[in-house]
């Protein structure tokens, strides 16, 4: 019923104004699915390979599309994704590009859902999903690889942990973002916005902590539920010759562990992503041992949504949560495998956008389909609100 008739690929724009791959999958029964690949800036060294868009599309047309059309069922996600892997023939999608692979994988899932007449989250997660929603982590201040001349720490994330509903949580993050805008204006601190819509003022990390803390407390008082905050330190980007270089601050591994543990204590952080380098399993484990009871220590560049890297981390208790980015690994099936391995081992999952995004809403459905406790998909900006508003619609059963 869901046999794929046609796969179309095209270049479209992403939120940075770069080209990205969009895929359409049509089934013989008239089903239709469309999805687009996101793109990272602070990419992990071990991610699947994103090829230049035209190259990726040409290679996918040559190697993958003929194996899918008339042969594979869009409703059979494993078969679609196995076919993509076989067509590519490498470990890291360097032949057809993870950008074409993930776009086709997600578009096939949408086409499968369309034929079944089910919302995507239900097709992916089953009939009993749709009752639980992730807490959205909203990027409100940032720099790193996402903005020039801004904070050294890449993302300060509002975390409305006490919100009674996903809608309240989404609105609270936007309110924190707005409050920070007002505080910056009051202080005559000009601020552009980074790639994900977060404020990108030219201030020190220490000042950013005070700013975010004040905004979170103000909004918390207003909305009446608990809001914490967290960080993506994207430490692999700052690790040079065995040291962590954040602006003027240079720290050894032990100093970085002390620094992060101190921040967790001082600001009661809910979440710290990539506090250490992408190969630093042992240092991650030391930090998790120290503060893992109080906060989430999350591996993004460390795990790259890859079950083998995650298993290495599980073996040494490196972290207690994992970021899930389907384009880091190339297919939805691979992302599901990472989520299942994480969940079986008590790791919290955080389904995530990339800094370069489109209007695609697949990750909102993926989070609901897998009962993910968190989603990281910005706070404001059209390509971010596409996902946030989709969560609100799913909760409202208004798809």
Ligand X SMILES: C=C(OP(=O)(O)O)C(=O)O
Give the active site residues. 196, 325
Q: Are strands 348-352 and 321-324 parallel, antiparallel or unpaired?
A: parallel
User: Does residue number 338 form part of the binding site for ligand X (CB under 6 A)?
Assistant: no
User: Does residue number 230 form part of the binding site for ligand X (CB under 6 A)?
Assistant: no
Strand partners, 305: none
The rounded distance, in Å, linking the Cα atoms of 187 and 215 is 13
The rounded distance, in Å, linking the Cα atoms of 330 and 48 is 6
- Out of 42, 100, 288, 349, the only residue in the binding site for ligand X (CB under 6 A) is 42
Edge-to-edge strands, sheet with 4-13: 4-13, 19-27, 32-36
Site for ligand X in 293-322 (CB under 6 A): 300
Which option in ligand X, Mg ion, none does residue 352 bind, with CB closer than 5 to 8 A by kind? ligand X
Which one of the spans 4-12, 109-117, 349-357, 358-366 is the region binding ligand X (CB under 6 A)?
349-357
Token pair, residue 126, equals: 């089953």
Which option in ligand X, Mg ion, none does residue 197 bind, with CB closer than 5 to 8 A by kind? none
Which one of the spans 216-224, 228-236, 361-369, 371-379 is the region binding Mg ion (CB under 5 A)?
228-236
Largest separation between any pair of C-alpha atoms in the chain: 62
Residue in 29, 37, 27 with CA at minimum distance from that of residue 7:
27
Token pair, residue 4, equals: 């794929």
User: Does residue number 47 form part of the binding site for Mg ion (CB under 5 A)?
Assistant: no
Burial grade of 365 (CB within 10 A; 0-12, 13-18, 19 or more): buried
User: Does residue number 237 form part of the binding site for Mg ion (CB under 5 A)?
Assistant: no
For residue 145, the minimal CB distance to Mg ion (Å) is 9
Which one of the spans 58-66, 103-111, 281-289, 348-356 is the region binding ligand X (CB under 6 A)?
348-356
Q: Are strands 271-273 and 228-232 parallel, antiparallel or unpaired?
A: parallel
Residue in 209, 213, 260 with CA at minimum distance from that of residue 238:
260
Token pair, residue 36, equals: 């687009």
The rounded distance, in Å, linking the Cα atoms of 17 and 14 is 5
Residue ranges at the known binding site for (2R)-2-phosphoglycerate: 154, 325, 354-355, 376
- Centre a 10 Å sphere on the Cβ of residue 70 and count the other Cβ atoms it contains: 11
Site for ligand X in 118-147 (CB under 6 A): 145
User: Does residue number 300 form part of the binding site for Mg ion (CB under 5 A)?
Assistant: yes
- Out of 56, 288, 333, 352, the only residue in the binding site for ligand X (CB under 6 A) is 352
Which one of the spans 39-47, 105-113, 205-213, 334-342 is the region binding ligand X (CB under 6 A)?
39-47
User: Does residue number 277 form part of the binding site for ligand X (CB under 6 A)?
Assistant: no
Token pair, residue 198, equals: 């977060």
- Out of 232, 237, 278, 390, the only residue in the binding site for Mg ion (CB under 5 A) is 232
For residue 42, the minimal CB distance to ligand X (Å) is 4
Binding site for Mg ion (CB under 5 A): 232, 300
Binding site for ligand X (CB under 6 A): 40-43, 145, 232, 234, 300, 352-355
């Amino acid at each position: 019923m869901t046999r794929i008739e046609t796969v179309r690929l095209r270049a479209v724009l992403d939120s940075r104004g770069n080209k990205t791959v969009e895929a359409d999958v049509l089934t013989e029964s008239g089903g239709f699915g469309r999805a687009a690949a996101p793109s990272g800036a602070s990419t992990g060294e071990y991610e699947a390979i994103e090829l230049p868009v035209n190259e990726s599309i040409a290679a996918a047309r040559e190697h993958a599309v003929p194996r899918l059309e008339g042969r594979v069922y869009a409703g059979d996600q494993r078969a679609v994704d196995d076919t993509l892997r076989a067509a590519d023939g490498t470990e890291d999608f360097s032949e057809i590009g993870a950008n074409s692979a993930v776009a086709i994988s997600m578009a096939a899932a949408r086409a499968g859902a369309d034929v079944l007449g089910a919302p995507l989250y239900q097709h992916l997660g089953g009939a009993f999903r749709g009752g639980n929603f992730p807490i959205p982590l909203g990027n409100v201040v940032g720099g790193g690889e996402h903005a020039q001349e801004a904070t050294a720490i890449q993302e300060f994330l509002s975390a409305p942990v006490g919100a009674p509903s996903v809608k309240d949580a989404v609105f609270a993050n936007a309110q924190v973002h707005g409050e920070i805008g007002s505080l910056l204006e009051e202080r005559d601190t000009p601020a552009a916005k980074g790639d994900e819509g977060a404020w990108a003022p030219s201030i020190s990390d220490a000042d950013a902590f005070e700013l975010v803390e004040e905004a979170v407390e103000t909004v918390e008082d207003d909305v009446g539920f608990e809001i914490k905050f967290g960080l993506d330190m994207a430490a692999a980007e700052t690790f040079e010759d065995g040291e962590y270089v954040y602006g003027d601050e240079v720290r050894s591994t032990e100093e970085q562990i002390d620094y992060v543990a101190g921040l967790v204590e001082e600001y009661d952080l809910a979440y710290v992503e990539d506090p250490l380098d992408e190969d630093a399993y042992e240092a991650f484990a030391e930090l998790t041992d120290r503060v893992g009871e109080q906060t989430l220590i999350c591996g993004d560049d460390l795990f790259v949504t890859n079950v083998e890297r995650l298993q290495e981390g599980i073996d040494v208790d490196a972290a207690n949560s994992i970021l899930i980015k389907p384009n880091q690994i190339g297919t939805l099936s691979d992302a599901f495998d990472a989520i299942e391995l994480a969940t079986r081992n008590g790791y919290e999952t955080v389904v995530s956008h990339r800094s370069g995004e489109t209007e695609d809403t697949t990750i909102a459905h993926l989070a609901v389909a897998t009962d993910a406790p968190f989603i990281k998909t910005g706070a404001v900006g059209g390509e971010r609100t596409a996902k946030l508003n989709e969560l609100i619609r799913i909760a409202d059963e208004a798809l």
